[in-house]
Structure 1
Amino acid sequence: MRLLRSTDLALRLLMRLAVAGASTPTTRQVAADIDVPYTHATKVVAELQHLGLVDARRGRGGGLALSEKGRRASVGAVVRRFEGDGEVVECEGSSPCPLNSDCRLRGALRRAQEAFYATLDPVTLEEMVAGPTGPLLLEISSRP
């Protein structure tokens, strides 16, 4: 299974904010810290804010911070929201698969997808930023 780029950015952005402490970095700072284009980061921040995982304040003294909901969010829940609930493979649509009515692959792939999410569900951001990841994120963010 391959994650969407936006899912990867969302997880990295949340991890960076999880180690921010009392500081409120800007979207531009976080984008630089995790080495992603600013325009991509702004789209992901907007979605995270819409989901209630990130608080964003504009203007002087503004910045990004994890919301209380963001602190409690599971990695599995975040991945589900960004990846969507779609099928792993396209069995219908403009050129439907001729095996569609008697195929076992679709069900097996769906079970595998659910197992993937179930593995991520108990994982929290706090676990993701425990050593050595958290200290590394702090080191990266303190670079000039």
Structure 2
Amino acid sequence: MKNSFFLFVISFFLFISISFSQETMEKNYATFGEFLSEQNKNISLIENGLTLEKTKEIMGPSLLVKVPKIGKMKVLSKLFKQPEHNDKYVQNPEKKVIILWYFTTPKDQNGIITKSECTPILFEKGLVKGKGWKFYISYKRANRLLR
């Protein structure tokens, strides 16, 4: 019994350290919509040809979003990773494609952020090639992305 408890404690601390290993910033918002507006504003600043590093700088670090109780809405204190998801594809040694997925559109309120709730930003050779679902789908069809 003691061994399983000890293993649980170690696993818990390992999970916490991995979860917060990337830079995280705490930020207070008046409403959740304010957070979403900021995310979408930042996405709008991303242009083709921008570097991966500059894009990550514009989007900022992972955020611990805090929103106070408003009416029937509960208090929110949730970590949003920046980006939420990322994919890497290698077409050939010269063509490496990276897709960063940033949370912008809540659909389910189940606490799990899926790619369908994110805006994809696609990089080819380290530079933004395009963004958004329409671009992602057409690029994926035309280039037959394989992992």
Task: Provide TM-score, normalisation by structure 1.
Answer: 0.29
Q: Which structure exhibits the higher relative contact order, with contacts defined as CA atoms closer than 8 Å and separated by 6 or more residues?
A: 1
Q: Name the one with the larger strand percent.
A: 2
**TM-score, with structure 2 as normaliser:** 0.28
